[in-house]
Amino acid sequence: MAYSKKVIEKFENTLNEPKKFNVGRFNPSDLDVGTGMVGAPACGDVMKLQIKCEPKGNSHVIKDVKFKTYGCGSAIASSSELVEMLVGKTLEEAKEIKNKDIANALELPPIKIHCSVLAEDSIKQAIDDYETKQ
Amino acid sequence: MSNNIQQPIYLDYASTTPVDPRVAEKISSHLKMDGVFGNPASRSHKYGWKAEEAVEEARSHVANLVNCDPREIVWTSGATEADNLAIKGVANFYNGKGKHIITSKIEHKAVLDPCRQLERDGFEVTYLDPDAGGCITLDSIKAAVREDTILISIMHLNNELGTLNDIEAIGSFARSRKIFFHVDAAQSTGKVEIDLSKLSIDLMSFSAHKTYGPKGIGALYVSRKPRVRIEAQIHGGGHERGMRSGTLPTHQIVGMGEAFRLAKEEMQADREHVANLHQRFLDGVNGIEEIYVNGDLDRKVPNILNISFAYVEGESLIMALKDVAVSSGSACTSASLEPSYVLRALGRKDELAHSSIRFSFGRFTSNKDVDHTLSILFHAVERLRELSPLWDMHLDGVDLDKVEWN
């Protein structure tokens, strides 16, 4: 298991200080909350990402994020990395985040790229969910 | 046993054991100019004779542990080579007699891969499923036997679960049907008694490094009565009565001999020691909710304990347990992202197969090691469950089997 230092650091920090790293959940039925859940237990990864947004100008801004992830160390680190990128972004900006951004930030090996893909899918789904509620 | 906790705590004895200091001593006295370094095949001088003597003494120690004739022991580079030699050796020698082989889905790759190779060479192989407890039943073997079955290969002790197969019953059945029976015993030496004088077994593979000996050496038992013939897989010099050529590595062989001599002498003490550790671990770990022991407790050895921690993924658990050296039942640790094929064969749900950890104890494990591991484990599982959306769903009463995952 040759993990990059960045993955290990991110994983351990998230594990040791869950609150600081936005581990948790919002009420999914709140109108200002969008929820995305991707992956499957059988595949070894499930990511649940929730964004809390508020309107700002013509857009909506992500003011808080919570997540929970079941998966390998890279999957947990990928979610945590994504969450850090999201706070303060407009939904348009958030849609621009690509799996490559996460994979590069964490120096994910090729075999773990799917973790960053799942993370990208989770934000897309969360935004979809939020937008359908508006 | 050691009093100081070594970091990370080593609980991966099923993967390999450290060499016993007494074995290391023996090995180092067979390497240098002032030791017994000679080539056992040198017939013309004392260096060779002394080395041959040492090799034969080691051979008798190995034979003694499993109660067979030393002439039935063939040195190999390890259990993998012994498995290859047994399976391909019998198949190639007796291929006129039949083309069908029976093995199981929970065998080590050292058995499965040679079988796959033989399939490419025109043989047919039946891979049996274990029962829910992780054992291969005689009934499933009986049901799979055909007119043209020439070989049954079933492991003694499963390396992931610690479960034991009834090699006595399988052997008697195989003998009654005149089918050769090979047993991979890489994991079982020194853990359970093996008496080849009473068992109907034709071939048995051994490894030194799972029993406090060095890596790179093993042996194959090849029965003389009744006689089983095998076709050599490595040619060049006709060592080991033509069954396995290559200069005998005296130092490794005496290491294996000493390790097996000690295994016989200390089997009772080793077993009691490990049984205590296993019970201590089990008592402690039962304090964690939603855990599942894989493999039937009544039919396994205490050396190996395979546990699924529901709603926690195995690889992340191993990362969180960085101060403990264990292995994941999940093969995520290697190149593939498949959960353990052994746990799958047990019929465990994928998510439980993904969440399993194998703890294995041994001669140098202490109570302190177990206690310390338990406290690290409690903390890690708690933290990872706090992070797990599946744990939330479980607490909310959601049936995960009914969720449509995308």
Ramachandran angles phi, psi of B334, nearest 5°: -95, -155
Mean confidence (pLDDT) of chain A: 94
Is the model's pLDDT at B2 over the cut of 60? no
CB < 8 Å to B349, chain A: 42
> Mean per-residue pLDDT for A22-49?
94
Q: How confident is the model at residue B331 (pLDDT cuts 50, 70, 90)?
A: very low
Q: Please determine, for residue A119, whether its predicted confidence score (pLDDT) is greater than 70.
A: yes
Percent of chain B past pLDDT 90, that is, above it, reads 88
The residues of B carrying an active-site annotation are: 332
Q: What count of CB pairs under 8 Å joins A to B? A: 86
Would an 8 Å CB–CB cutoff place B259 in contact with chain A? Answer: no
Q: What is the mean pLDDT of residues A111-115?
A: 89
Q: Which residues of A fall within a CB distance of 8 Å from B350? A: 41-44
pLDDT for B56-83, tens place per residue? 999 999 999 999 999 999 999 999 999 9
pLDDT surpasses 90 at B107? yes
Q: How far is A56 from chain B (nearest CA, A)?
A: 30
Contacts of B391 in chain A (CB under 8 A): 70
pLDDT tens digits for range B283-302: 999 999 999 999 999 999 99
pLDDT at B269: 98
Is pLDDT above 90 for B336?
no
Q: B406 CB near a chain A CB, below 8 Å? A: yes
Residue of chain B nearest A70, judged by CA positions? B388
Yes or no, beta carbons of B387 and A18 under 8 Å apart: yes
The predicted pLDDT at position B347 comes to 82
Whole-complex ipTM: 0.95
pLDDT at A90 over 80: yes
Tokens of B209: 């490094």
Q: Which of B235, B212, B220, B246 is nearest to B110 (CA)?
A: B220
User: Which of A37, A43, A73 is closest, CB to CB, to B316?
Assistant: A73
CA distance A12 to chain B (A): 7
Q: A111, B337 in Cβ contact below 8 A?
A: yes
pLDDT tier, B1 (very low <50, low <70, confident <90, very high otherwise): very low
Q: Tell me, what's the pLDDT at B333?
A: 43
**In this complex, do B350 and A11 lie within 8 Å of one another by their Cβ atoms?**
no
Whole-number mean pLDDT of chain B? 94
User: B401 falls in which pLDDT band (50, 70, 90)?
Assistant: confident
Nearest CA in chain B to A18: B387
Of B330, B332, B389, the CB nearest to A68: B389
CB under 8 Å to A108, separation ≥6 — which residues? A4, A7, A74, A78, A102, A115, A116
Secondary structure element (H or E) that encloses residue B219, with its range: strand B218-222
What 3-state class would DSSP assign to B323? coil
Contact A41 B351 (CB under 8 A): yes
Portion 286-325 of B in contact with A at CB < 8 A: 311-313, 315-316, 318-320
How far does B183 lie from chain A, in Å, by closest CA?
32
pLDDT tens digit sequence for B208-255: 999 999 999 999 999 999 999 999 999 999 999 999 999 999 999 999
Tell me if B294 sits within 8 A of B307, measured CB to CB: yes
Residues B116 and B144: beta-carbon distance below 8 Å: no
Please give the residue of chain A at the shortest CA–CA distance from B387.
A68
Give the pTM.
Answer: 0.92
Query: By a Cβ cutoff of 8 Å, what residues of chain A touch chain B?
Result: 1, 3, 8, 11, 14-16, 18, 23, 25, 37-48, 68-73, 75-76, 111
Give, in order, the Cα–Cα distances in Å from A70 to each of B37, B163, B318. 55, 29, 14
Task: Tell me the average pLDDT across B371-388.
Answer: 97
User: To the nearest whole angstrom, how far is the Cα of B138 from the nearest Cα of chain A?
Assistant: 31
pLDDT of residue B332: 44
Other residues' Cβ atoms within 10 Å of the Cβ of residue B375: 10
Q: What are phi and psi of B192, to 5 degrees?
A: -135, 155
